[in-house]
């Protein structure tokens, strides 16, 4: 039998159809498959060599709704018994009356008193059917209407990196710019602060999005923010605060599905 | 068929299995979910992917999975002759359809029922091989958009001019001995890892033996094109890592 | 589809800051490259921020209009290609793309950029018909200004194809250039809330209450105007917009001349 051979390195970018390994000693994971005696990539992604298992983290792709994801959505229509929420995915979602508020809503009430068109909300996905009919809820810690600020779209595949480990990356941008920031799992990012600070925060988020695959990003971002804002950042302190914040459950837990978040980290 | 008409040497000095110079890029259309650029000789194609997104009109939705929808268009000034009237023509509709069929076999949209992935292909200038360039650009764009694909799709024309089998005929070669039946131009798209053929058309005449031989001997060319396509995506990430556009 | 609200754009503008960090009267960097397309008689690619427009010129021989037997024709066309923006759809041209083409077309026509009598081959029989097509590849606002620069640059880049025995030989370009005289430069000024901006991005364009495109010639003569948007403008505002457009046109003209 032919000797097995790895043709790409850990953290390499691999592309569809690319041969990652030859021989039968390796096993395909997420983002890879076996063809004859080779392992090929079936999506553009960052390669992870975990022993004999070869898998990838996607570097692009539309948001595919999943239960328990916290997303940012926009009210796009008012229905008989709820609201339609656009969540930047191929599928819109419905916020049913019963999940909109802890208040009692009387029959025939004017629903725009609660949420009107073009309102933005942080909501949580409660149900996804096989055909991707989606329900969201506003009942939960941190789920709320967003007022003011601007919204930018980022690639949903980069969200774990923007959030960072236990929220450390986004905390650093918040700290550096003084802006309030919320990151939806669906790639909508809300940024609110002084106009000039918002510009830096937007640039920072865009930079993380584009350089998500780069090693040493945390340090690069620290440098970038310090240069742009002129204030020093204490990474250790930010990390501690982010951990404390994510442990205290009254804040929205913008956490990604664990395997994806971990897989982006170069500095474990 | 007269056999004494010989095509001794390619007019531009290429070897029989040599393509015109190729240039490829990814991430060229800012607002797209993925995009690609593929230039071969003087034929130039841009492709952008939007989606998976909501499918309109609704009756085209497929509850079993996402739908790929390709649209091939020549810019009005892209033809060698007169201005091409804007808007779909019979030709562009047919090419859109065969482009679609050439890419569908590698793409997996099972996770996106009722949704559509739109692929828009635009050609600013053409000099033979425009559908193949469009397919190559589209495959880059799909991979760049993070669509699940078991492989790239590489496309190039193979064919026969006079007594010689070759790849990547240009306009002059297509025109060589026109009406004499001595030219065959055969656009082919291939899944490089398996050798499966996903596009096969022909203008001209050829024997079965020559056809099979022309495709078989071009196998390494398809693999080379796929490498260029993959490198285009890697180059984009390298560019981004350096902080460039 | 934009996710950023008008209120937010306005509240930021009130503090003198645009969402991309520019000052109200600041243009994005403009780059112009000509002669990129071999199949066109003339071509140019103009970039301005994330807006990128390809312009190509095609020429053909046709019969002149009976009332103007000595004049060739020049027309500018534009298509908002769906490749450039998720909001654009395939199909017949939208009113936006028709307006885009017509505003640029009018500027070029009214300034008599091209002496149409120089396009005559045989009076009453054969004249050159010049078509400029604008194809945006990337769109982030201000398509009129960027499109016009591309159209003018492409016209300046154009070489007549060979015409012999009633046939146009597109493969052979002659040295003969189009008689491009006066160069018109349109500049679009928008009003968002009560703030006035030049070179609007797509978001700014979308939330603008009113806009005015002012096309000027080198000496400051206004050769075309187009007001858009729902809000009315006072005469003072019109005056202010014309001043701004004229000043901006000077800078764009300098960039254009340098590129040609």
- Say yes or no: A36 contacts chain C, CB-CB below 8 A: no
For C166-235, strand residue ranges (E) read 167-177, 185-192, 195-198, 210-216, 222-229
* pLDDT at C14 (0 to 100): 87
For C89-140, the three-class secondary structure string (H helix, E strand, C coil) is CCCCCCHHHHHHHHHHHHHHHHCCCECHHHHEEECCCEEEEEEEEEEEEECC
- Chains meeting C at 3+ CB pairs closer than 8 A? A, B
Fold designation for C13-259: Ribosomal Protein S5; domain 2 (3.30.230)
Taking CB atoms and an 8 Å cutoff, what residues of chain A touch C7?
148
Q: C85 in contact with B at a CB cutoff of 8 Å?
A: yes
In this predicted structure, what is the pLDDT of residue C22?
A: 94
Report the C-alpha gap between B137 and B127 in whole angstroms: 16
**Closest residue to B76, CB basis, from C58, C83, C170:** C58
Least CB–CB distance from C3: residue in A151, A195, A202: A151
Q: Do C19 and A198 touch (CB under 8 A)?
A: yes
pLDDT at A266 over 60: no
Whether residue C15 and residue A195 make contact (CB cut-off 8 A), yes or no, is yes
pLDDT along chain B (245 residues), means of 10: 67 95 97 97 97 93 96 96 93 98 98 96 96 98 98 97 93 77 92 97 94 97 98 98 90
Q: What is the pLDDT of residue A160?
A: 94
Domain residue ranges in chain A: 5-58, 70-146, 150-264
**Minimum distance, in Å, between the CA of residue C199 and any CA atom of chain A:** 18
The mean per-residue pLDDT over the stretch A4-18 comes to 96
A174-228 pLDDT, tens digit per residue, is 999 999 999 999 999 999 999 999 999 999 999 999 999 999 999 999 999 999 9
Going by CATH, does the domain composed of A150-264 fall within 3.30.1370.10? yes
| Average pLDDT rounded to a whole number, residues A71-82 | 94
Q: Is A153 on the interface with B (CB under 8 A)?
A: no
If you measure CA to CA, which chain A residue comes closest to C16? A195
Collapse the DSSP code of C149 into the 3-class scheme (helix H, G, I; strand E, B; otherwise coil) and give the result: helix
Name subunits touching A (3+ CB pairs < 8 A): B, C
**Is the CB of residue A64 less than 8 Å away from at least one CB of chain B?**
yes
Chain B partners within 8 Å of A38 (Cβ): 193
Is A90 in contact with B52 (Cβ distance < 8 A)?
Answer: yes
Residue C197 in contact with residue C237, Cβ under 8 Å?
A: no
- The dihedrals phi and psi of B140, each to the nearest 5 degrees, come to -60, -45
| Residues from B in contact with A at Cβ < 8 Å | 33-34, 51-54, 63, 66, 106, 108, 111-116, 143-152, 191-194, 226, 229-230, 233-234, 237, 240-241, 243
Residues of chain A contacting residue B240, judged by C-beta atoms under 8 Å apart: 210-211, 213-214
8 Å CB contact of B53 and A62 = yes
* Cross-chain Cβ contact B114/A214 below 8 Å: no
CATH at residue B62? 3.30.230.70
Touching check for A148 and chain C: CB below 8 Å?
A: yes
How far is it, in rounded angstroms, from Cα C85 to Cα B30?
9
Q: Do domains A5-58 and A70-146 have the same CATH topology?
A: yes
Domain presence at residue B12? no
Q: How far apart are CA A263 and CA A268, in angstroms?
A: 10
Q: Do B146 and A91 touch (CB under 8 A)?
A: no
- With cut-offs at 50, 70 and 90, classify the pLDDT of residue A101: confident
Nearest to C3 among A74, A148, A194 (CB): A74
Convert the pLDDT of each residue in C2-61 to its tens digit: 567 788 898 899 888 899 999 999 999 999 999 999 999 999 999 999 999 999 999 999
Beta bridge partners of C123: none
pTM of the full predicted structure?
0.94
Q: Which domain holds residue B132?
A: 22-241
Q: Between A107 and C150, whose confidence is greater? A: C150
Class for the domain spanning A5-58: mainly beta
Total beta-carbon pairs less than 8 A apart between chain A and chain B: 106
| Interchain contact C137–B (C-beta under 8 A) | yes
Hey, are the CB atoms on B108 and A42 less than 8 Å from each other? yes
Q: What is the ipTM of this complex?
A: 0.93
Positive or negative torsion for Cα A61, A65, A68, A72: positive
Measured between CB atoms, which of C37, C41, C139 is closest to B124?
C37
CB contacts, 8 Å: C4 with chain A: 150-152
C57 inside 8 A of chain B by CB: yes
HEC profile of chain B: CCCCCCCCCCCCCCCCCCCCCEEEEECCCCCCCEEEEEEECCEEEEEEEEEEEECCCHHHCCCCCCEEEEEEEECCCCCCCCCCCCCCCHHHHHHHHHHHHHHHHHEECCCCCCEEEEEEEEEEECCCCHHHHHHHHHHHHHHHCCCEECCCCEEEEEEEECCEEEECCCHHHHHCCCCCCCEEEEEEEEECCCCEEEEECCEECCCHHHHHHHHHHCHHHHHHHHHHHHHHHHHHHHHHHCCCC
What confidence score (pLDDT) does residue B1 get? Answer: 42
Write the residue in A15, A60, A132 that is nearest to B145 by C-beta.
Answer: A60
For residue B110, tell me if it sits in a domain. Answer: yes
Residue B5: per-residue pLDDT: 65
pLDDT of chain C along its 260 residues, tens only? Answer: 456 778 889 889 988 889 999 999 999 999 999 999 999 999 999 999 999 999 999 999 999 999 999 999 999 999 999 999 998 877 777 888 899 999 999 988 888 889 888 999 999 999 999 999 999 999 999 999 999 999 999 999 999 999 998 899 999 999 999 999 899 999 999 999 889 999 999 999 988 999 999 999 999 999 999 999 999 999 999 999 999 999 999 999 999 999 98
Q: Which chains touch B (3 or more CB pairs under 8 A)?
A: A, C
Q: Which fold has domain A70-146?
A: OB fold (Dihydrolipoamide Acetyltransferase, E2P) (2.40.50)
Report, as an integer, the average pLDDT of A223-238.
93
Which chain B residues are closer than 8 Å to C60 by Cβ? 82-83
Mean pLDDT estimate for chain B: 94
- State residue A111's pLDDT score: 85
Q: What's the confidence (pLDDT) of residue C2?
A: 56
- Provide the CA B89 distance to its chain's centre, in angstroms: 19
Give the whole-angstrom CA distance, residue B18 versus residue B24: 17
> What pLDDT is attached to residue A97?
92
Q: Which residue of B has its CA nearest to C38?
A: B125
Contact yes or no for C44/C33 (Cβ under 8 A):
yes
Could you identify the residue written with the tokens 């981004």? B240
């Amino acid at each position: 039998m032919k000797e097995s051979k790895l043709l790409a390195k850990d953290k390499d970018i691999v592309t569809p159809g690319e041969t990652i390994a030859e021989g039968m000693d390796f096993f395909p994971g997420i983002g890879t498959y076996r063809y004859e005696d080779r392992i090929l990539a079936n999506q553009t992604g960052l390669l992870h060599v975990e022993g004999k298992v070869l898998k990838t983290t996607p570097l692009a792709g539309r948001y595919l709704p999943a239960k328990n994801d916290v997303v940012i959505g926009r009210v796009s229509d008012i229905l008989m018994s709820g609201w339609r929420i656009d969540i930047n995915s191929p599928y819109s979602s419905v916020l049913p009356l019963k999940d909109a508020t802890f208040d009692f809503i009387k029959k025939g009430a004017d629903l725009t008193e609660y949420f009107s068109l073009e309102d933005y909300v942080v909501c949580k996905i409660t149900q996804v059917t096989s055909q991707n009919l989606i329900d969201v809820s506003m009942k939960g810690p941190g789920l709320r209407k967003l007022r003011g600020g601007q919204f930018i779209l980022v690639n949903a595949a980069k969200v774990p990196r923007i959030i960072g480990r236990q929220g450390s990356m986004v905390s650093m941008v918040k700290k550096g710019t003084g802006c309030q920031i919320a990151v939806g799992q669906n790639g909508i990012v809300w940024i609110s602060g002084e106009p000039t600070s918002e510009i830096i925060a937007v640039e920072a988020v865009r930079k993380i999005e584009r350089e998500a695959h780069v090693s040493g990003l945390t340090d690069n971002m620290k440098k970038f923010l310090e240069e742009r804002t002129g204030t020093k950042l204490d990474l250790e302190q930010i990390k501690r605060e982010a951990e404390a914040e994510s442990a205290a459950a009254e804040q929205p837990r913008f956490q990604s599905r664990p395997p994806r978040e971990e897989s982006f980290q170069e500095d474990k | 068929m007269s056999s004494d008409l010989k095509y001794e040497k390619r007019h531009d000095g290429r070897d029989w299995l040599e393509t015109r110079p190729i240039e490829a890029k990814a991430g060229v259309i800012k607002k797209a979910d993925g995009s690609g650029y593929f230039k071969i000789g003087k034929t130039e194609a841009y492709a952008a992917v939007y989606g998976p997104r909501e499918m309109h009109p609704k009756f085209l939705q497929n509850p079993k999975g996402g739908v790929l929808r390709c649209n091939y268009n020549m810019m009005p000034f892209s033809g060698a002759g007169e201005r091409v009237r804007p808007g779909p023509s019979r030709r562009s509709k047919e090419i859109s359809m065969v482009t679609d069929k050439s890419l569908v076999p590698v793409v997996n949209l099972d996770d996106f029922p009722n949704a559509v992935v739109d692929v828009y292909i635009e050609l600013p200038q053409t000099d033979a091989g425009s559908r193949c360039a469009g397919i190559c650009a589209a495959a880059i764009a799909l991979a760049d958009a993070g669509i699940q694909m078991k492989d790239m799709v590489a496309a190039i024309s193979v064919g026969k001019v006079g007594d010689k089998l070759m790849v990547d005929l240009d306009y002059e070669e297509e025109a060589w001995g026109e009406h004499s039946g001595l030219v065959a131009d055969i656009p082919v798209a291939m899944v490089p890892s398996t050798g499966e053929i996903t596009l096969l058309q022909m203008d001209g005449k050829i024997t079965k033996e020559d056809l099979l031989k022309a495709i078989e001997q071009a196998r390494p060319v398809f693999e080379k094109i796929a490498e260029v396509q993959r490198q285009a995506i890697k180059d984009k990430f390298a560019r981004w890592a350096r902080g460039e556009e | 589809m934009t996710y950023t609200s008008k209120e937010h754009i306005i509240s930021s503008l009130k503090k003198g800051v645009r969402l991309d960090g520019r000052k109200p009267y600041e243009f994005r960097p403009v780059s112009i490259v000509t002669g990129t397309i071999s199949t066109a008689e003339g071509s140019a690619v103009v970039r301005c921020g994330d807006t990128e427009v390809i312009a190509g010129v095609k020429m053909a021989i046709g019969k002149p209009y009976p009332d103007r037997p000595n004049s060739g024709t020049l027309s500018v066309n534009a298509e908002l290609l769906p490749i450039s923006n998720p909001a654009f759809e395939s199909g017949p041209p939208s009113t936006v793309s028709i307006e885009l083409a017509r505003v640029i077309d009018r500027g070029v026509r009214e300034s008599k950029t091209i002496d149409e009598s120089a396009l005559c081959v045989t009076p009453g029989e054969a004249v050159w018909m010049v078509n400029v097509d604008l194809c945006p590849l990337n769109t982030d606002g201000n398509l009129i200004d960027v499109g016009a620069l591309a159209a003018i640059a492409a016209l300046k880049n154009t070489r007549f194809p060979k015409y012999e025995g009633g046939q146009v030989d597109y493969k052979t370009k002659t040295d003969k250039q189009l008689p491009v005289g006066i160069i018109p430069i349109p500049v679009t000024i928008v009003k968002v809330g009560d703030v006035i901006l030049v070179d609007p991005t797509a978001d700014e364009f979308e939330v603008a209450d009113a806009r005015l495109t002012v096309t000027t010639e080198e000496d400051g003569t206004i050769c075309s105007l187009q007001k858009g948007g729902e809000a009315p403008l006072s005469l003072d505002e019109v005056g202010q917009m014309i001043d701004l457009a004229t000043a901006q046109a000077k800078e764009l003209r300098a960039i254009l001349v340098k590129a040609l």
